Amino acid sequence: MEDKENTALKWRSISGILISGGYGFIGSHVVRHFVKKYPQYRIINVDKLTYAANPEYLKDIENESNYIFIQADVCDYAKMEEIFRTYKIDAVIHLAAESHVDRSITDPFDFARSNVMGTLTLLQTAKTCWKKENYHKHLFYQISTDEVYGALHFGDDPFLETTPYDPRSPYSASKASADHFVRAFYHTYGLPVKISNCSNNYGPCQYPEKLIPVIIHNIVKRKPLPVYGKGENVRDWLYVEDHACAIDLVFHNGRIGETYNIGGDNEWQNIELVRLLIEITDRLLGRPPGDSLPLISFVTDRPGHDLRYAINATKIKTELGWQQQMNFREGLERTVAWYLRDSAPQPSL
Ligand SMILES: NC(=O)c1ccc[n+]([C@@H]2O[C@H](COP(=O)([O-])OP(=O)(O)OC[C@H]3O[C@@H](n4cnc5c(N)ncnc54)[C@H](O)[C@@H]3O)[C@@H](O)[C@H]2O)c1
């Protein structure tokens, strides 16, 4: 493994970091984290601005001298090459993706296009623009998901980095495919890559179509709170800023060619999570305890709905010293408070 001094020297020579999908939920937190913490890096946020993006998320840093936004589709090879050459891109943190499982069931082609072809396009651009003798100064970092590992039963051990891929939805299939291309570029061409697979994120700035923002939004509007099946599906939740810190650690200190699992050690059945959100949101709205409980509405389960995801994050903890900071209840309180602001995003569905 490289010693700390060499690693520090290497990263001092970095100028441009392309962060794709920087106006999305996780991407906006990652961009802010890097822009504020590393003024020596130039952060180039490349985002197509799909329905899930919101430039308001980064209003507070948009005038920073080390930040640039470019509206572009990561599938556009000519544009990616132009960006790499113009901005001297040394490293990529690739988050841009279609990310909603339900949408992937309705329209899988968009997912194959953005998630698979988009990743392949960026990989090919990096391979073309980076000289092989300088590969040690470059990095292609793929942000992936625990969903590529498939589904766990109750009592199964959490996913390890060595768990075979077994994607079940068009979304997870597209992410798995993208990860395979990333590893193929490492083995075939020697491109310096890293991958991390994270569990469900929560926090401010998530488009209100995913579970937590939808539930908060519907409590506010006194609309039914949709819960799939019997609400028994289990997800492992991590605060989005803890994910951004993990990405920072993997980016700087993770080993080339390696995968790191990132998770919250924080498994919740959907129905229990919805009850907790009701408790917090009703209180913050000044409503009586339990006021919104009757709004819970069980709906037909999502086809192929994975029962349980859980991550074993021992590797990133022991090897890189990562530790999540946010307590779940406090993180949810912050999230609910953020969605209760007047300016919070509204669903377009
Ligand atoms: N949300 C989670 O819980 C979670 C967990 C683990 C991993 N991930 C991964 O993290 C990444 C970000 O997820 P998110 O929840 O922030 O997603 P998101 O849907 O909130 O944001 C995605 C962003 O990517 C942009 N984008 C989509 N297609 C693009 C394209 N072709 N070209 C350029 N930009 C494009 C969108 O405009 C948007 O800003 C994804 O790769 C996802 O698979 C998400």
Residue 330 lies in a domain: no
92 lines ligand 1 (CB under 6 A): no
Task: Indicate which CATH number applies to the domain containing 65.
Answer: 3.40.50.720
Q: How large is the average pLDDT for residues 223-245?
A: 96
Ligand 1 within 6 A of CB of 170: no
- Residue 109 lies inside a defined structural domain of this protein: yes
Q: How many CB atoms lie within 10 A of CB 37?
A: 12
Q: Does residue 113 belong to any structural domain of this protein? A: yes
Distance (Å) from CA 138 to ligand 1 centroid: 23
147 in active site: yes
Asked whether the predicted pLDDT for residue 249 surpasses 60, the reply is yes
Catalytic entry in 141, 171, 260, 309: 171
Within a domain: 73: yes
* 175 Cβ closer than 6 Å to some ligand 1 atom: yes
List, in order, residues 6 or more apart from 241 with CB less than 8 Å away.
29, 33, 203, 325, 326
Residue 167 CB less than 6 A away from ligand 1: no
Instruction: Work out the mean pLDDT of the chain and round it to a whole number.
Output: 94
The alpha carbon of 12 is separated from its chain's Cα centroid by a whole number of angstroms, namely: 26
Indicate if the pLDDT at residue 12 is higher than 70.
no
Determine if the pTM surpasses 0.75.
yes
pLDDT digits (tens, 9 = 90+) for 262-283: 999 999 999 999 999 999 999 9
Which mutation among 95, 149, 201 tests ligand 1's pocket best, with the greatest number of atoms within 8 A of CB? 95
- Each residue of 55-114: pLDDT tens digit? 999 999 999 999 999 999 999 999 999 999 999 999 999 999 999 999 999 999 999 999
Residue 271 lies in a domain: no
Q: 83: Cβ below 6 Å to ligand 1?
A: no
* 146 catalytically annotated: yes
Question: Rounded mean pLDDT of 314-341?
Answer: 97
Whether 151 lines ligand 1, by a CB cut-off of 6 Å, is no
Residue 144 Cα to ligand 1 middle (Å): 10
C-alpha to C-alpha distances, 39 to 61, 68, 85, 169, nearest whole angstrom: 12, 13, 21, 39
Ligand 1 centroid distance, CA of 157 (Å): 27
CA–centroid distance, residue 173 to ligand 1 (Å): 15
Catalytic residue (choose from 47, 90, 98, 146): 146
How far from the centroid of its chain's Cα atoms is residue 267's Cα?
Answer: 18
In the chain, what percentage of residues exceed pLDDT 90?
Answer: 91
Give the pLDDT confidence of 140-198 residue by residue, as tens digits.
999 999 999 999 999 999 999 999 999 999 999 999 999 999 999 999 999 999 999 99
Per the domain annotation, does 253 fall within a domain?
yes
Question: Strand (E) positions, the chain?
Answer: 16-20, 42-47, 67-71, 89-94, 139-145, 193-198, 200-202, 225-228, 234-239, 259-262, 267-269, 296-299
Contact 145, 98 (CB under 8 A): no
Active-site option among 47, 90, 147, 236:
147
| Domain of 118, in residue numbers | 4-202+238-266+312-325
What domain count does the chain have? 1
Q: Is 322 close to ligand 1, i.e. is its CB under 6 Å away?
A: no
Residue 301 inside a domain? The answer is no
pLDDT at position 304 is 86
Structural domain includes residue 218: no
